[in-house]
Structure 1
Amino acid sequence: MMKRIATVAMLLGMVSTAWAAGDPVIGKQKAALCIGCHGVDGNSSNPDWPNLAGQHAEYLAKQINDYKSQARKDPTMNAMVASLSADDTANIAAFFASNKVNITGANKGSIELGKKIYRGGIAKRGIAACASCHGPSGAGNPAAKFPAVSGQHAKYTAKALNDFASGARSNDPQSMMRDVAGKLKANEIKAVAEYIAGLH
């Protein structure tokens, strides 16, 4: 598993050098279509919708492009991004990346189990530590296009993990997230999601 992570990180790092950075000032104007769900600065007030503030621009651009190609399926998002140009995508991604995520805190009852899994994984079940890709503080790895997860809504993170576990979401490189999430129990997904909500 760790060898696969390193290989994917290296390959994605090579690809990322060709990505053109966007303009956050232009992106702020273009992001008008996003603010109804994701907030004026990318901090969503609804836990069903992810915070985009502080997310790596390249990761955001990948998700937009995956919605455009329907490699990632969501009827609302597929329609919202359909007409975005490559420049629009880069600019919107740059705008949200330039903002700071609001850390809302974690559910105290889930912190210990979530912390244990996030930082150390579950070796006997072949579950890698979340921190191995997303970093000890949840900052992610922009070169490898591993997203920042710090401060993400617990409800959204749990949905994402459950979607990876069921295969409803499959736009993860080499099934990395599907492999991990598919081995987690429901209470473990909830605990990790709650821990991430307060991680910074």
Structure 2
Amino acid sequence: MKITVLLAALLSASVAFAGPPAPKKEGIEGQGYVWNAQEGEKIEALQKKGDVTRGEEAYEVCGACHLPSGAGRPDGTFPQLAGQHTTVLIKQMADIRAGLRDNPTMYPFAATLVDPQELADVSAYIESLCIPTDHGKYEGADAALQVAKGKELYEKQCKECHGDTGAGDKAKFYPVIAGQHYKYLLRQMTEIRDGHRRNANPDMVKVIKPYTDDQLVAISAYQASLKMPGSMCGDKK
């Protein structure tokens, strides 16, 4: 059953690849940009109660890249989604669909979700997934040093929004960053610093703008070393 649904979803996605490109809406480069504006399908999805059972079926197409477990890829090509806040998931998917966030790989898949209710359903399912015990970490010979440097930087400017443990803030749309794949964290922070993540929080852009590549490596190493909050896979109930 699941294999059939997944194949059908992938075929639908391949059609989407052949269709028109993703829309492009002005983001951080625009004067009127509001980072967490609640409008359109985004606010509709946020106001709906997600159904985990329906969300599991809708997630089939997502699992092709993010894996059925929601673990993503340790090499950072696809982020770990399991346990992420529903608000963050809804915002990011809606932003990609609306053209606020450039992600040509994900856009055809996100476009297969039919309405705000399905956005809410798939986000509820992803948030309910147990947290994988393994993820991509910084693996250099100087790992301990990088994590220590990153901890110092994180505690100065990052924890105010993302919290002591990297758990983020569901109500404010701040993502869980603890336990995310190191290479994914590094890529996203680099893109935010360099102005390529068009749906970024302008406050974060200001904070991260002065950071050097070496500092971003250290912060990413520290964040990836943290334990993601939530029920770990294999935990006894």
Report the TM-score range of the alignment, normalised by the length of the smaller protein.
0.7 to 0.9
Alignment partner, residue 139 of structure 1: 167
Whether 2:204 is the aligned partner of 1:177: answer yes
Assess, with a 3 A threshold, how the Cα gap between structure 1 residues 79 and 58 changes in structure 2: closer, same or farther. Answer: same
Alignment partner, residue 155 of structure 2: 119
Alignment partner, residue 118 of structure 2: 88
The Cα shift of 1:9 comes to: 11
Bigger Cα displacement from structure 2, 104-113 vs 40-49: 104-113
What's the CA shift string for 1:167-189, capped at 9, x where partnerless?
1102123x122112211110110
Query: In the alignment, residue 155 of structure 1 is paired with which amino acid?
Result: K
The Cα shift of 1:80 comes to: 1.3
TM-score, reference length from structure 1:
0.83
Higher normalized helix content (fraction of residues): 1
Q: Is the 8 A contact 1:51 1:153 kept in 2?
A: yes
TM-score, reference length from structure 2:
0.71
| Structure 1 runs not aligned, ≥5 long | 1-7, 121-128
| Structure 2 runs not aligned, ≥5 long | 1-33, 228-237
Whether 2:183 is the aligned partner of 1:161: answer no
Query: In the alignment, residue 33 of structure 1 is paired with which amino acid?
Result: V
Alignment partner, residue 79 of structure 1: 108
Query: In the alignment, residue 145 of structure 2 is paired with which amino acid?
Result: G
The 3-state SS of whatever aligns with 1:75 is coil
Alignment partner, residue 78 of structure 2: 49
The 3-state SS of whatever aligns with 1:136 is coil
The structure with the larger Rg is: 2
Count of equivalent residues: 182
The Cα shift of 1:144 comes to: 0.6
The Cα shift of 1:21 comes to: 2.7
Residue identity over aligned pairs, in percent, reads 29
Query: In the alignment, residue 132 of structure 2 is paired with which amino acid?
Result: N
**1:69 aligns with one of 98, 111, 122:** 98
**1:60 aligns with one of 89, 94, 100:** 89
Partners of 1:70 and 1:137 in 2: CA distance: 31
